Amino acid sequence: MHVLVIGAAGMVGRKLVARLAADGMVAGHGIQRLSLVDVVQPDLPDGFAGEAWAADISAFGAADRMVAGRPDLIFHLAAIVSGEAEADFEKGYRINLDGTRLLFEAIRQQGLHGARYVPRVVFTSSIAVFGAPFPDAIGDEFFTTPLTSYGTQKAIGELLLADYSRRGFMDGIGIRLPTICIRPGLPNKAASGFFSGILREPLAGKEAVLPVPDTVMHWHASPRAAVGFLLHAAALDTKPLGARRNLTMPGLAATVAEQIEALRRVAGDKAVALIRRVPDEGIMRIVEGWPRRFDAKRAEALGFRAEKDFDEIIRVHVEDELMGKVP
Catalytic residue ranges: 150
Which residues lie closer than 8 Å to 301 by C-beta, 6 or more apart?
A: none
Q: What 3-state class would DSSP assign to 151?
A: helix
CA distance 11 to 300: 24
First-to-last alpha carbon distance for the chain, in angstroms, is: 42
CA distance 65 to 70: 10
* Encoded amino acid at 35, one letter: S
Distances (CA, A) of 174 to 75, 164, 165, 226, 296: 10, 12, 11, 13, 14
Q: Do 62 and 56 meet the contact criterion of CB atoms below 8 Å apart?
A: yes
What is the length of the chain? 327
CA distance 160 to 176: 15
CA distance 276 to 281: 16
Q: For the sheet with 252-255, list strands across it.
A: 179-180, 217-221, 252-255
Residue 76 is classified by DSSP as: E
